[in-house]
Structure 1
Amino acid sequence: MYAVGFFDLLFRVLYLVTFVLSLYSLIEAARTPAPAFPAMDKQTKGLWVGLLAGGTVVSLAAFLGMSAFLTILALIAALIFLIDVRPAIRQIGRSGGDGPYGSW
């Protein structure tokens, strides 16, 4: 009986982490200018925002106990964005000569 409660808590923590990563990725994708994506040979902004919005909804549903079926796909999409896409598109923002701390 104790093991079931432990694993339930563990999965809820994993679902929460997935939700937070998905939400953060969604916010970052939405804040990024659309021309930055094709300029770095990445998929379009609309595709990434759609994937990450879907992942955020799925991971929130899993955290609330509704369905955990596609949560791993939400985690994969968020990690791909954070590890591959975000660093590439942030390079565009750094190429400007506005100062050491960014464009403002």
Structure 2
Amino acid sequence: MLGILDMLWWLIYVAIFVTSLFALVDASRTPAQAFPAMDKQTKKLWVGLLAVGTFVAFSAVFSSIRFFVFIALIATLIYLLDVRPAVRSIGRNEGPRGRW
């Protein structure tokens, strides 16, 4: 039976996985031209980084490979806190009255 601390860490790994998966889906849906337009790296690079991070986070939930999950978390947070707000303003086809 898992201890309280083990269960807490497992929940943290699940939260990291869900966050990484959200960032991966969001980056995949964002138009490719929005990234260079806002002076960010290419869409291919971000989708690749987030895909690897999501896989690492998924494997941390179900195995003992848990050290690299924090590197995946860093890439995910950089995307969500820096890249996503920048490309979201240009990449969602928003006009003066909202989405087209």
Say yes or no: TM over 0.5: yes
Please, which runs of 5 or more residues in structure 1 have no aligned partner?
Answer: none
Q: Percent of aligned pairs with the same residue? A: 54
- Determine the structure 2 residue equivalent to 1:76: 74
Alpha-carbon distance in structure 2 between the residues aligned to 1:12 and 1:25: 20
Q: Which amino acid aligns with 1:78?
A: T
List, as ranges, runs of 4+ consecutive aligned residues in structure 1 with deviation greater than 6 Å: none
Cα RMSD for the two superposed structures: 1.9
Alpha-carbon distance in structure 1 between the residues aligned to 2:12 and 2:83: 23
Please, which runs of 5 or more residues in structure 2 have no aligned partner?
Answer: none
Q: Which amino acid aligns with 1:39?
A: A
Q: 1:29 aligns with which of 11, 27, 30?
A: 27
Alpha-carbon distance in structure 2 between the residues aligned to 1:29 and 1:93: 10
- Determine the structure 2 residue equivalent to 1:47: 45
Q: Which amino acid aligns with 2:51?
A: A
Alpha-carbon distance in structure 1 between the residues aligned to 2:92 and 2:60: 37
Which of 1 and 2 has higher RCO (CA within 8 Å, sep 6+)? Answer: 2
Residue 34 of structure 1: SS of its match in structure 2?
coil
